[in-house]
A and B are shown apart, each in its own frame.
Chain A
Amino acid sequence: MLLCVHLPAFGLAVARRENSAISPDEPAVLADKPDRGRVIELDPNARRLGARAGQTVLQARAAAGGVHVLVHDAAHSRAVWSDMLDALDAVSPLVDDSGEGTAYLEMRGVDGGEQTWIARAKRALHGFNLPVRVACGPNKFVARARTYAPDGCIERLPVEVLQIDPRAVERLHLLGVRTLDDLAKLPHGPFVRRFGKAAAQWHDWARGIDPAPLRPRAHEVQIDAAVYGEGTAAQEEQIFFALRILADRVCSDLQRAGRAATLVRTTFECENGDVREIETGFAQATAEPRTMLDVMRAKLEGTTFDSPVTGLRLQAMRLEEWGTPATLFGQHQADPQALAVALARLHAATGAVAQRARVRPAAQLEGRFFYSPFEVAACHPEVSRSARTRGADKGPAPQLRLLAVREIDVTMRGNAPATVGARAVLDCAGPWRVDDGWFESPVMRDEFDVLLDDGMLCRIYRQGEHWYLRGAYD
């Protein structure tokens, strides 16, 4: 048995609660932006006056004179909903968060009957001062639909309760289908053929069938460790000793919870009352104490405190699921754990994330590649034969090394460079015209590959009246 807690137009209800000047009977709409915004939610009174979701604020005001326009505060709504879910944890241990305004609670095994559960849920949410609808049902749809049916009979409810596309509702109305009972009486096959695949689900719902399972929300895990009141630490070694102990504790907890942290926050409390928080990020989530400590050491390098440290707290944040993919590691296959540690340490050492190169077509040399973060998951060697032989059709190729672009002196003989600086050109290829970026910053240049008499083989280009050295083949 499921208990549904439903708040229709949740964002509007929260905004209305914050704005106490508006009475519950007055029409109001919720817009995404104060000016030039669009209506995202509205109450029945505003709908009766002619306002609709999707209208601009101006249109809504014109359609429903005297309507109040409230602005959506997404962060606040999310916070309120999160608090409500926390409050519902007292009613049932399994709470399914189905989006802001709707939650389902698994009530099997919970003491009491339907009326008791409903009363408990209402009592738990009483402090939020929001219009809450609560009802029980054998599945998700029936439980939610019953929140609109005080007597518990969903047959007489309008088809709008399905929360489907308004155009589909309009089509149903044109066919004379106004209630769930009307819909349930239609033959399944012809109805689905006429309205498409999604209609099969509507028909099931109308008949009280909803196979959607309950997905309990994950509870937030907070993992931290602290040392207070055990003396003062005035030297670096003492602080690192304490940090090592805390990192061990935190990582032990992380491993037990099957999690890994991508960020840790270290809080230092000093004797003079100063409190300093230092956040250390990892390129890859980790639950290894050594990695954590190494990266923290790198981050704390050069940090000074005015007085001895009396308290230390280490908090694991941004937790991710942790686990090693179960693959059959070959001799040459890398251990993802070791690789993740190396990535985190590289990040700490250079301040930049380790990268991988990708190639794309472009007119200019510089645009033909870009870098993206190196991912552990993406580099698992594949075992298929096609993957092993992917590079087999490619062979040795001249390698260009990009040098810092610098201007050079070039003399021409005919259409080809004769000298580059003090060096004579033995042979050259080109020019190849590069004409790019005409739509924003035009680049037009002629590129040459030249072989100089000292053996240097390089790529040069002429842009306007100037010559530049771009790279050397190596």
Chain B
Amino acid sequence: MDVQADIRPTFATLKAGLDVRAGGRIVASCSEAFSTGFVTLDQALAGGFPRGLLATLEGPPSSGRTALLAGVLAQATRSGLAAIVDDGTLYPPDLERAGVRLDRVLIAQARTMLEISRCADILLRSRSFAVVAMPAAPLRATVWSRLCGLAQKSGTVLIALGTQAGTELAYFASTRVRCAIERVLWSGGSGVLCELDGYEVGAHVLKHRRAAPGAVARVRIARECNGAPLRGERAVAPAPRPLQVAQAVS
């Protein structure tokens, strides 16, 4: 009796169920992952942000988290609706430039913590949005718990943006990504001729409930003209921020 021949189909089935996109690491198959719109980040997150769970994009101002969020929103608004709980810092023209369809983005203005939590609650309850983005306000654990429950019921990706996740948020978040700008890309000459072309964001997966954490992805956020980069590009490295390089994926 050829045991190997018998178990071969079983292995084949198992292999098909595994997701090998995460750089060869074995992770749970996640068909419910929501693509971030960036290949390297999708690889680091084993397919993207998990649907129905809370994710955080953390980092100080000028860390590239909004650019990553714009990618997620662009994906979401291709076929559905997205919502943003805005604390007044949103700049829609850049979102549109990133491919976000603004007519499919609901913007709820909220200034206080209470308003932020209520808006997020209402948006999640409606079950109408693929992605809901909100500021990472220091809310109580019970509030995060409720929001997580609502996100799970509606299958919505709830993304909290902030400098640093508090203890409660860090506990309830299923995915935590820390962002930092590693390289700033300028184009043109100097002075008036110089233009901010974009930047490279290092995204460090601090926590992932469905895959191994610790992966790092480099995402290039740059204005491009018809798919070709602007000429005269030069890079300037700001203060060093230690980050591991993402594993190469064949």
Interface of A with B (CB < 8 Å)?
330, 332-335, 338-339, 341-342, 345-346, 349-350, 352, 354-359, 365, 368-369, 371, 374, 378-379, 381, 388, 390-404, 415-416, 426-432, 449, 451-458, 471-474
Whether A426 pairs with B236 at a CB distance below 8 angstroms is yes
Given contact pairs A396-B220, A457-B184, A350 touches B115 in the complex (Cβ within 8 A): yes
Bound-state CA distance A428–B186 (Å) is: 9
Q: Are A390's CB and B62's CB within 8 A?
A: no
Of the A-B pairs whose beta carbons lie under 8 Å apart in the complex, a sample of 8, sorted by A's number, is A330-B79, A335-B127, A354-B107, A357-B105, A365-B91, A401-B61, A430-B194, A455-B62
In whole angstroms, what is the CA distance A355 to B105 when docked?
9
Q: Are B239 and A454 in contact (CB under 8 A)?
A: yes
B-chain residues with CB within 8 Å of residue A352 when the two chains form the complex: 109
Residue contact A349 to B239, C-beta cutoff 8 Å: no
Q: A365-B91, A396-B221, A396-B222 are in contact. List 15 more A-B contacts (CB 8 A).
A: A332-B79, A338-B127, A342-B128, A346-B108, A350-B118, A379-B104, A394-B99, A396-B37, A396-B220, A429-B188, A429-B194, A451-B236, A474-B62, A474-B64, A474-B67
Q: At the interface, yes or no: B38 with Cβ under 8 Å from chain A?
A: yes
A interface SS class:
mixed
Instruction: Tell me which residues across on chain A come within 8 A of B32, comparing CB atoms.
Output: none
Are the C-beta atoms of B196 and A391 separated by less than 8 Å?
A: no
- B binding-site residues for A, Cβ under 8 Å: 37-38, 60-67, 69-71, 74, 77-81, 88-110, 115, 118-119, 122-123, 125-130, 180-181, 184, 186, 188, 191-192, 194-196, 198-199, 219-224, 226, 236, 238-239, 241
For A431, give the chain B residue with the smallest CB separation. Answer: B192
Contact yes or no, B67 A397, CB < 8 A: yes
- From B65, B67, B110, B236, contact of A398 by CB (8 A): B67
Please tell me if the beta carbons of B241 and A345 are within 8 angstroms of each other in the complex. Answer: no
Question: Is A356 within 8 A of B106, CB to CB?
Answer: yes
Instruction: Report the minimal beta-carbon distance from A69 to chain B, rounded to whole angstroms.
Output: 51
Is the CB–CB distance between A474 and B61 below 8 Å? yes
CB <8 Å contact, A390 and B101: yes
Nearest CB in chain A to that of B184: its residue: A451
Asked if residues B220 and A356 are in contact (CB atoms below 8 Å), the reply is: no
**A356 touching B126 by the CB < 8 A rule?**
no
- When distances are taken between beta carbons in the complex, the residues of chain A under 8 Å from B128 are 334-335, 338-339, 342
Number of A-B contacts (CB under 8 A): 211
- Nearest Cβ on chain A to B66's Cβ, whole angstroms: 4
Partner of B63, one of A342, A393, A474: A474
Chain A residue contacts of B66, Cβ below 8 A: 399, 401, 474
Beyond A332-B79, A346-B119, is A416–B92 a contact (Cβ under 8 Å)? Answer: no
Say yes or no: A429 contacts B130, CB within 8 Å. no
Complex Cα distance, B123 from A334, in Å, reads 12
Alpha-carbon distance between A139 and B106 when the two chains are bound, in angstroms: 50
Known: A332-B79, A430-B192. A396 touches B126 (CB 8 A): no
A248 and B225 alpha carbons, distance in the complex (Å): 57
Assess whether B94 is in contact with A400, with CB atoms less than 8 Å apart: yes
Which of B74, B91, B109, B198 contacts A402, CB < 8 Å? B91
Residue of A nearest to B61 (CB): A472
Q: Contact: A400 with B91, CB < 8 Å?
A: yes
- In-complex Cβ contact of B198 among A334, A398, A452, A471 (8 A): A398
CB of B81 within 8 A of CB of A334, answer yes
- Whether B122 contacts A381 by the Cβ 8 Å rule is no
Distance of A345 Cα from B115 Cα, bound (Å): 12
What is the CB-to-nearest-CB distance from B31 to chain A, in angstroms, rounded to a whole number?
13
Asked if A368 and B199 make an inter-chain contact with CB atoms under 8 angstroms apart, the answer reads no
Q: How far is the CA of A396 from the CA of B81 in the complex (A)?
A: 19
* Contact present for B91 and A399 (CB under 8 Å): yes
Interface centre among A395, A397, A456, A473 (most CB of B within 10 A): A397
Q: Shortest beta-carbon distance, B250 to chain A, in Å?
A: 24
Q: Which residues of A contact B69 (CB under 8 A)?
A: 399
Are the C-beta atoms of B93 and A456 separated by less than 8 Å? no
Q: Is the CB of A342 within 8 A of B236?
A: no
Please provide the 7 A-B residue pairs with the shortest distance between their CB atoms, ordered closest to farther.
Answer: A342-B126, A357-B92, A332-B80, A334-B128, A394-B99, A391-B99, A455-B238
Given contacts A369-B91, A457-B181, A474-B61, whether A378 and B103 have CB atoms under 8 Å apart is: yes
Is the CB–CB distance between A455 and B80 below 8 Å?
no
CA of A190 to CA of B140, assembled, Å: 82
Q: Are A355 and B239 in contact (CB under 8 A)?
A: no
Across-interface contacts of A333 in B (CB, < 8 A): 80
Residue numbers in B under 8 Å from A368 (CB-CB): 93
Known contacts A339-B126, A341-B126, A473-B62; A357 and B79 CB within 8 A of each other: no
A405–B71 Cα distance when bound, in Å, is 27
CA distance A431 to B97 in the complex (A): 22
Inter-chain CA distance A379–B76, complex, in Å, is 13
Which of A354, A357, A378, A429 is within 8 Å of B195, CB to CB?
Answer: A429
Choose from A357, A394, A451 the contact partner of B238 (Cβ within 8 Å).
Answer: A451
Which A residues touch B77, using CB under 8 A? 391
B220 partner residues in chain A, CB cutoff 8 A: 396
Q: For residue B126, which residue of chain A has the nearest CB?
A: A342
Q: Which residue of B lies closest to A383 (CB)?
A: B79
Question: Which residues of chain A come closer than 8 Å to B92, judged between CB atoms?
Answer: 357-359, 369
Residue from A374, A398, A456 in contact with B221 in the complex, judged by beta carbons closer than 8 Å: A398
- Closest A residue to B96 by CB, please name it: A359
Report the Cα distance A432→B91, complex, angstroms.
19
**Residues from chain A with Cβ under 8 Å of B107 in the complex:** 354-357, 371, 374
Q: Which residues of chain B are near A332, meaning CB under 8 Å?
A: 79-80, 130
- From B93, B102, B123, name the one whose CB has the most chain A CB atoms within 10 angstroms: B93
Query: What residues of chain B lie closer than 8 Å to A451, measured between beta carbons?
Result: 184, 236, 238
A349–B119 Cα distance when bound, in Å, is 7
Q: Known contacts A342-B126, A391-B74, A399-B66: does B103 contact A453 (CB below 8 Å)?
A: no
Contact A394 B97 (CB under 8 A): yes
Interchain nearest-CB distance for A342 vs B (Å): 3
Smallest beta-carbon distance A284→chain B, Å: 12
Do B79 and A359 touch across chains, with their CB atoms under 8 A apart?
A: no
Distance A349 CA – B120 CA, assembled complex (angstroms): 11
List, in ascending order, chain A residues with CB within 8 A of B196's CB: 398, 429, 449, 457, 473
